[in-house]
Amino acid sequence: MRPGRRAQPNRVTWSRGATSSRWALLRCQAGFAFLLLALNLAAAQGAEAAPAKYRWDLAALSQPPAIFPAPDLHADGVQAFFYAGLPYRGQPTRVFAFYGLPTNAAPAKPVPAVVLVHGGGGTAFADWVRLWTGRGYAAIAMDLCGCVPAGSYGHWQRHAHGGPPGWGGFDQIDEPPADQWTAHAVADVVLAHSLLRSFPEVDPKQIGITGISWGGYLTCIVAGVDARFRCAVPVYGCGFLGDDSVWLPDFQRLGAEKAARWLGWWDPSQYLGEADLPMLWVNGSNDFAYPMDSWQKSYRRAKGPRTLCLKLRMPHGHNGPGEKPPEIHAFMDACLNAGPPLLRVTGQGRSGTAVWASCAGPAAVKRAELEFARDTGPWQQRNWETAPAHFDLVADRASAELPAGTTAYYLNLIDERDLVVSTEHEELAPAQP
């Protein structure tokens, strides 16, 4: 198989795969009450408090790392190399990466750039880099699990200088924090950014980041750690994973003290409060890993301007659903390349069953939709329906009447480019019989 190509391009990016998501969800439901009880009891009994968030050495990580050749891992139209990572268990590490430039890039005409952070089961993908070079951007995609893009999807070949394996590092919680996966993965992303900034063909003031699934999780952390980024787009990934996520059984197995330690060091909620850059949050209404409640807490925690794009039943995957939503391209262009912005939701509200949202932006609104559910329970299992909403072109305001029995809703606004922005969702108490 040619390096950098996906063997299974539509596979779920979480390392356990889509086929296990239903079983994982059932395990989550069974373990959720136990985990909350355990954590509450630990707090009530004065157990060890969750540690302060981890501190990366940003002065060191802001320096461009050394580069090493990777002659056997070339791919069409991109460069392949290793760069120096953090020490792991006292030994030096190297990080594999693909890097590409658009044809018009030159030191006299530097181009904007994007850092691409893959998800669980993924690696550095050459065609993801080429997607962005074709749009006029420099791009770098790195492997975050000590692997190279050789082998089958999710079973990439580890190399001799790899750092800790992924994903999540739950089984590494008793290791020194500097030897755990999230510490290395975040550092590797920041180092890739520093490397991009050192290239003369790249405009160091116009660099964004996007990541998918576990890569979206990392993007949330990096957005609060590396203040040099101009914008960020986490896809699916969010924080508050101990409140609701597909990993609740993992926290249950860790026990209250170790779960609190992991969440204190590695949950994005610890870092999003420092993220004051524009962020586009992309997710699906029924995402199996990152549900809407934890997603909402996460985007509310970040301090910078936010835009939401919540698509009904958006598939969870790398190629296509995670990489190619056109809203990501438009958002990056607006932030980094003087392109027209997405619509901006300027207000929303509800009076009884009447809901509304106002918006602004250079593009005309083509239509508005009410997305609503009538059931309760896990977000992953809710049955979402769509109804047209009225849009007043003069007032730039969408409005709709909630159908009987609505328990949750949000509005989607679609502009003339077919680009979607969403309001926040609101959950309503179910009607009493």
Amino acid at 112: P
> Is the N-terminal amide bond of 14 cis, ω within 30° of 0?
no
- pLDDT bucket at 48, cuts 50 / 70 / 90: very low
Note the pLDDT of residue 431.
65
Note the pLDDT of residue 154.
76
pLDDT (tens digit per residue) in 172-231: 999 999 999 999 999 999 999 999 999 999 999 999 999 999 999 999 999 999 999 999
Contacts of 264 (CB under 8 A, 6+ apart): 50, 51, 52, 53, 270
Bridging pattern class, strands 397-401 and 354-360: antiparallel
Structure tokens at 187: 């550092």
In the predicted model, is pLDDT for residue 274 greater than 60? yes
Note the pLDDT of residue 432.
60
Structure tokens at 220: 């949330």
Torsions phi, psi of 233, nearest 5?
A: -135, 90
Give CA–CA dist 433/25, Å, rounded: 29
Give CA–CA dist 94/131, Å, rounded: 25
Among 131, 232, 147, 138, CA closest to 181 = 147
Among 242, 290, 245, CA closest to 262 = 242
Chain Cα centroid distance, residue 15:
15
- pLDDT bucket at 71, cuts 50 / 70 / 90: confident
In the predicted model, is pLDDT for residue 13 greater than 80? no
Give CA–CA dist 117/119, Å, rounded: 7
Half-sphere exposure of 151 (CA within 13 A, CB side): 14
Helix, strand, coil share (%) of the chain residues, nearest 5: 30, 30, 45
Mean pLDDT, rounded, of the chain: 89
* pLDDT more than 90, % of the chain: 83
pLDDT (tens digit per residue) in 392-420: 999 999 999 999 999 999 999 999 999 99
Q: Do domains 49-342 and 345-427 have the same CATH topology?
A: no
CB 199 within 8 A of CB 139: no
Cα-Cα-Cα-Cα torsion 267, 273, 275, 277, nearest 10 degrees, comes to: 140
CB 124 within 8 A of CB 98: yes
Note the pLDDT of residue 106.
95
CB count in 10 Å sphere of residue 106: 11
CB 383 within 8 A of CB 374: yes
Note the pLDDT of residue 320.
85
Half-sphere exposure of 275 (CA within 13 A, CB side): 30
What is this structure's pTM? 0.89
Bridging pattern class, strands 408-415 and 397-401: unpaired
Answer with the residue of higher pLDDT: 35 or 295. Answer: 295
| CATH of the domain spanning 345-427, picked from 3.90.1150.10, 3.40.640.10, 2.60.40.10, 3.40.50.10740 | 2.60.40.10
Answer with the residue of higher pLDDT: 77 or 420. Answer: 420
Q: What is the mean pLDDT of residues 91-109?
A: 96
Q: What is the DSSP letter of 109?
A: B
In the predicted model, is pLDDT for residue 40 greater than 90? no
Note the pLDDT of residue 433.
57
In the predicted model, is pLDDT for residue 22 greater than 80? no
Answer with the residue of higher pLDDT: 347 or 150. Answer: 347
CATH of domain 49-342: 3.40.50.1820
CA Rg, the chain, in Å?
Answer: 22
Note the pLDDT of residue 187.
98
CB count in 10 Å sphere of residue 204: 15
Note the pLDDT of residue 74.
84
β-partners of residue 348 are 357
Among 243, 252, 239, 242, CA closest to 30 = 252
CB 341 within 8 A of CB 334: yes
Give CA–CA dist 402/400, Å, rounded: 6
CB 121 within 8 A of CB 144: no
CB 163 within 8 A of CB 172: no
Torsions phi, psi of 321, nearest 5?
A: -60, -40
Note the pLDDT of residue 43.
39
Domain ranges (residues) in the chain:
49-342, 345-427
CB 39 within 8 A of CB 240: no
Give CA–CA dist 45/27, Å, rounded: 27
Bridging pattern class, strands 279-284 and 147-152: unpaired
* pLDDT more than 70, % of the chain: 88
Give CA–CA dist 334/354, Å, rounded: 33
